[in-house]
């Protein structure tokens, strides 16, 4: 089989028409170059070069094949250049999955940040519950996922991004008087509103309020934080709200936000990716961008 290296040797010889200068051009010895050209001729079954004491010339077949050799080398050069570009940090396509209780509050800040820091990145976003995102990640349909940790699965790597504290959201006109900071014993679990099954925030709310999953709870099957808070604003109950959602949701909802007593409950948001993807540097750059967005939010 002819190698790319042999094609480059032949192209150098066709350019210089001198074995010594061609050898210098490709950084090998003259005998090694000559041996490679002869091997190429043997494989093709044609003579490419006329060798005389006074000069070196391409045969008619050599001149004909030179056109194809240069076309192949040009394609190889373009391939290598594309590979070098894609090897740059956050260059090219990045398919990112984000859970629904993070996406609406992170994406508006993250996208401009990535465009400024990594203008050649092509971002493709997907919002879904954790299990679905992790399945897509494992099967190669996503490159990374932003979700609540821990996520411990073979073949996946994770990096913590930031802690997101929980608060309690209730209607401004709610008649119940709750002391601030709030303790879990003050939470009326019969009025606790939850996202539908499959959302990690549902399980976190149950854990924070120390409620067994099988207990009868107010459950409207809400699929988003905004829908849940609309119910809260109409005094249909109360719910946990992550700190990152407060700035956006409290400004447009008639709700009251109460902090929990220390140690305040929180969730850990992290970045998850496949260990074997070879994009560790990309993931570190992406993680830093998310961390900086979170820091800007909290200041």
What CATH code is carried by the domain that includes residue 220? Answer: 3.40.190.10
Residues facing residue 257 across a β-bridge: 169
Based on the fold, state whether residues 168 and 262 are members of the same structural domain: yes
Q: How far apart are CA 239 and CA 62, in angstroms?
A: 78
Strands 193-195 and 239-242, bridge-based pairing: unpaired
198: left (phi over 0), alpha (psi -120 to 50) or beta: left
**Average pLDDT for residues 111-125, to the nearest whole number?**
90
- 142, 204: one domain: no
pLDDT in tens, 141-155: 999 999 999 998 899
Residues 20 and 68 in one domain: yes
Domain boundary among 86, 110, 128: 86
Q: Is 133 in the same domain as 151?
A: yes
HEC string for the chain: CCCHHHHHHHHHHHHHCCHHHHHHHCCCCHHHHHHHHHHHHHHHCCCCEEECCCCEEECHHHHHHHHHHHHHHHHHHHHHHHHHHHCCCCCEEEEEEECCCCHHHHHHHHHHHHHHHCCCEEEEEEECCHHHHHHHHHCCCCCEEEEEECCCCCCEEEEEEEEEEEEEEEECCCCCCCCCCECHHHCCHHHEEEECCCCHHHHHHHHHCCCCCCCCCEEEEECCHHHHHHHHHCCCCEEEEEHHHHHHHHHHCCEEEEEECCCCCEEEEEEEEEHHHCCHHHHHHHHHHHHHHHHHHHC
pLDDT at 270 over 90: yes
Count of domains for the chain: 3
- Whether 187 and 258 map to the same domain: the answer is yes
Strand partners, 260: 182
pTM as predicted? 0.67
* Together in a domain, 174 and 260: yes
Q: In which band, very low, low, confident or very high, does the pLDDT at 57 lie, cut at 50, 70 and 90? A: very high
**Do 240 and 118 share a domain, yes or no?**
no
Among 31-45, 94-108, 192-206, where is mean pLDDT lowest?
192-206
In this structure, the answer to whether residues 64 and 98 fall within a common structural domain is: no
**Contact, 56 vs 18, CB < 8 A?**
yes
User: Over the stretch 105-116, which tens digit does the pLDDT of each residue have?
Assistant: 999 999 999 999
First to last CA, the chain: 62
Say whether both 156 and 289 belong to one domain: yes
On whether both 124 and 188 belong to a single domain, the answer is no
Domain shared by 144 and 210, yes or no = no
Give the range of the structural domain holding residue 231, as residue numbers without chain letter: 164-266
At 213 the pLDDT is 46
As a whole number of angstroms, the distance between CA 249 and CA 228 comes to 11
Give the length of the chain: 299
């Amino acid at each position: 089989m002819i190698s790319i290296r042999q094609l480059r040797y032949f192209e150098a010889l066709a350019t210089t028409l001198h074995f010594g200068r061609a050898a210098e051009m490709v950084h090998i010895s003259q005998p090694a170059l000559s041996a490679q050209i002869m091997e190429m001729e043997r494989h093709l079954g044609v003579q490419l070069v006329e060798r005389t004491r006074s000069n070196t010339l391409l045969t008619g077949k050599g001149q004909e094949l030179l056109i194809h050799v240069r076309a192949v080398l040009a394609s190889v050069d373009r391939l290598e250049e594309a590979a070098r570009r894609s090897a740059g940090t956050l260059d090219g396509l990045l398919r990112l999955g984000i859970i629904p209780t993070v996406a609406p509050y992170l994406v508006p800040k993250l996208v401009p940040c990535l465009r400024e820091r990594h203008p050649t990145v092509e971002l493709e976003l997907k919002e879904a519950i954790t299990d679905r995102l992790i399945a897509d990640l494992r099967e190669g349909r996503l490159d990374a996922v932003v979700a609540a940790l821990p996520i411990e699965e073979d073949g996946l790597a994770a990096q913590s991004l930031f802690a997101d504290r929980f608060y309690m959201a209730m209607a401004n006109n709610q008649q119940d008087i709750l002391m601030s900071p709030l303790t879990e014993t003050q939470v009326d679990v019969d009025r606790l509103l939850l996202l539908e099954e499959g959302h990690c925030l549902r399980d976190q709310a149950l854990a924070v309020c120390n409620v067994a999953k099988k207990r009868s709870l107010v459950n409207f099957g809400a699929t988003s934080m905004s829908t849940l808070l609309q119910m809260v604003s109409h005094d249909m109950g109360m719910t946990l709200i992550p700190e990152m959602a407060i700035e956006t949701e409290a400004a447009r909802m008639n709700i009251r936000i109460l902090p929990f007593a220390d140690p305040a409950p929180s969730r850990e948001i992290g970045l998850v990716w496949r260990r074997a993807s070879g994009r560790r540097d990309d993931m570190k750059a992406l993680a830093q961008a998310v961390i900086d967005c979170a820091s800007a939010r909290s200041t």
